[in-house]
A and B are shown apart, each in its own frame.
Chain A
Amino acid sequence: MADPTSISCEHLTFSYPGAAELALSDVSLKIPPGQYVGVVGPNGGGKSTLVRLLNGLLTADSGRVQVAGLDPATEPFEVRRLVGVLFQNPDNGLVAPFVEDDVAFGLENLGVERAEMRERVREAIASVGLAGYERREPHTLSGGEKQRVALAGLLAVRPEVLLLDEPTAMLDAAGREEVLSRVRDLAGSRTVLHVTHHLQELFDADRVLVLNGGRLAADTTPLELFSDAELLRENRLVLPTVPKLAADLGLPFCRTPEELAAAVARRSRDGVQAR
């Protein structure tokens, strides 16, 4: 396909039935294939609403959505074949009583031929590091493992776009890293839209969208967002500890303690020389 955009929204507006406020108002954006895009913003900002509009779970009141050249409102099943969504609570996303059956669920729905289904299920389970877990029951898994099962279920379908709606919100630090490192490794050439409240998850993102009160408050890069104190405060975003310390010390963006230490050392050395 010659279409250079993977996701596009034009003047997208949506309100939930009976709600007084708009959940999304006049949101326009274009995302090229392969971009890793973070989505942040305060509670109720409209992040989950955007995700639901992108795969046809909701239909816009006005404006246009296109995903991989298709309109999710009119062709939801075609779009869902190309878009995988990872939700917040893995406990409520797994359908089948065994891991392998759950990973197969999307393929079953697509009517993939059985021999290929088996192959893809095996591959997907191995790719998230859960080989040997095929016959485990979801309720015996840790949160991170459940979320990896859910991820395997998406990858088995081989989507072009991954929508992640706070996939780590219910996980502890170890589970979070477990899931995100898999996402990073497996995203490959896919377009990823990653909704999160943890800015540290977006250090490597190509781009960050800020949604506040249903409006697109900013469409920027992580580095610019992290160094814009005003923008952060307006959208109730909190920098992770290390970049926060760097900012407080008036240093440029630092992601790891080592970078921070080096920056501090450099400044004190330069400071001594200047004196």
Chain B
Amino acid sequence: MTFARGVGQFYPVESPLHALDPRAKVVATALFVVGLFFVDSAAGFLAAGAVTAALVAASRVPLGAFLGLLRPVLFIVALTFVFQVLFLREGPTLLAWGFIEVHEEGLRLGLVLAARILILVTAAGLLTATTAPVALADGMEDLLSPLKRLRFPAHEVAMMMTIALRFIPTLGEEAEKISRAQAARGADFEGGGLLKRARALVPLLIPLTVGAFRRADELAEAMESRGYRGGVGRVRYRELRFRARDAAALLLTALAVGVAALL
């Protein structure tokens, strides 16, 4: 069992996208994702797809990383597509074969949804691949901080993100170690049906969970003894600066997605 990095992880190279303020990137991504729901023409998707592809190229993140990101969602995309094509029976019939009928509207919606999901996942992947986890957490804290007045724990949420990012690889390594130990005792994680495999995971998840709680205890002690007491009076190590280029990036994103929606 391997716990690949890659999926939505930071890819530390230098690029114009890496240099942007994380807040600008988060807002731009949100804009883009929302805008995508108003795109419904072939031309619109071509435009949105072309913009995404251009950004992927500009990010200097190898294409393989994005393809790896898309692999797990391909199944969902295929399923959605088949569902729409087979069960949406509106518009002229394109094909009829026994009880299988393909209608124009079904094919259209299937393609729309598939394109939407693929572009969406790539856009989200662009955000996490080009933004250092700490910067992402800091950016989220800033963006959520207006909600502090409504007692929303913006700092705590950001801290949780940071800690999660710190411990995901550590827990992954631990899971690998445990599963190797269990495999040495004859556990089989690979073979059998879905249910059997799920059941084989139980002896892995229990020690992992227990270990995580112990870690959490020790981490809390370490944080406290290093003077942590929440967000009050804290100064962040990294400074976020919203520059002209961040404003430009935001504007261009809004423009691109607006045009794609109108096409």
Contact = CB atoms under 8 A, between A and B. Distances in A.
Interface string B156-174: 0000001101100110010
A114 B169 contact: no
Interface stretch (B109-117, B186-194, B219-227, B255-263): B219-227
From DSSP, what is the main secondary structure of chain B's interface residues?
helix
A97 B233 contact: no
A135 B12 contact: yes
A93 B134 contact: no
A55 B234 contact: no
Q: How would you classify the secondary structure of chain A's contact residues: helix, strand, loop or mixed?
A: helix
Interface string B119-153: 00000000000001110000000000000000000
B224 A94 contact: no
A46 interface: no
A7 to B, nearest CB: 15
B184 interface: no
Nearest to B174: A91
Interface in B192-242: 214-215, 218-219, 221-229, 233-239
A101 interface: yes
B235 A93 contact: no
Interface in A143-160: 153-154, 157
B235 A87 contact: no
A107 B162 CA distance: 17
A83 B224 CA distance: 12
Interface residues of B, number: 31
Contacts of A110: 227
A113 B235 contact: yes
A98 B237 CA distance: 12
Contacts of A109: 226-229, 234
B221 A87 contact: yes
Interface of A: 52, 55, 57, 76-77, 80-81, 83-85, 87, 89, 91-98, 100-101, 104-114, 117-118, 121, 135, 137-139, 153-154, 157
Cβ-closest 9 pairs across A and B:
A104-B237, A92-B218, A93-B222, A109-B227, A139-B169, A106-B226, A85-B225, A97-B166, A80-B227
Given A80-B224, A87-B222, A157-B227, 6 more contacts: A57-B221, A87-B218, A93-B222, A95-B219, A95-B226, A96-B166
17 contacts: A55-B225, A57-B221, A57-B225, A91-B215, A92-B215, A95-B163, A96-B134, A98-B132, A101-B238, A105-B223, A105-B228, A106-B226, A111-B235, A118-B237, A135-B12, A138-B166, A157-B227
Interface of B: 12, 132-134, 162-163, 165-166, 169-170, 173, 214-215, 218-219, 221-229, 233-239
